[in-house]
């Protein structure tokens, strides 16, 4: 999660909008932006993080194989895909 100065009306983005992780593995989330964010599934497949304040980190573990859309529930234009192998 980071600031995106190129888009002033949508000033945040995931620094890695495409992630691959092994089944049972985790993704470490670090908020390098100036706003609170979340890491949430668009339609299920994994448990959402809680709120991640600026400068804080969290992790999400993946237990099911497949491709899952993710988003920030506070800034819904922030989206990506995680592939669990």
pLDDT digits (tens, 9 = 90+) for 43-76: 999 999 999 999 999 999 999 999 999 999 999 9
Q: Return the domain boundaries, the chain.
A: 2-84
pLDDT, residue 2, reads 66
> Which fold is adopted by the domain 2-84?
Immunoglobulin-like (2.60.40)
State the pLDDT confidence band at 1, using cuts at 50, 70 and 90.
confident
Burial (0-12, 13-18, 19+ Cβ within 10 Å), 31:
buried
CA dihedral 19, 24, 44, 15 (to 10 degrees): -20
Which pLDDT band holds residue 10 (cuts at 50, 70, 90)? confident
- What pLDDT is stored for residue 11 in this prediction? 83
Q: Which residues pair with 56 in a beta bridge?
A: none
């Amino acid at each position: 999660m980071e600031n995106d100065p190129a888009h002033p009306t949508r000033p945040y983005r995931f620094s890695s909008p495409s992630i691959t992780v092994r089944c049972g593995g985790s993704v470490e989330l670090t908020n390098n932006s100036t706003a609170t964010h979340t890491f949430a599934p668009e339609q299920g497949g994994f448990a959402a993080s809680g709120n991640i304040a600026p400068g804080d980190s969290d992790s999400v573990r993946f237990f099911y194989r497949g491709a899952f859309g993710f988003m920030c529930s506070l800034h819904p234009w922030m989206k990506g895909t995680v592939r669990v192998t």
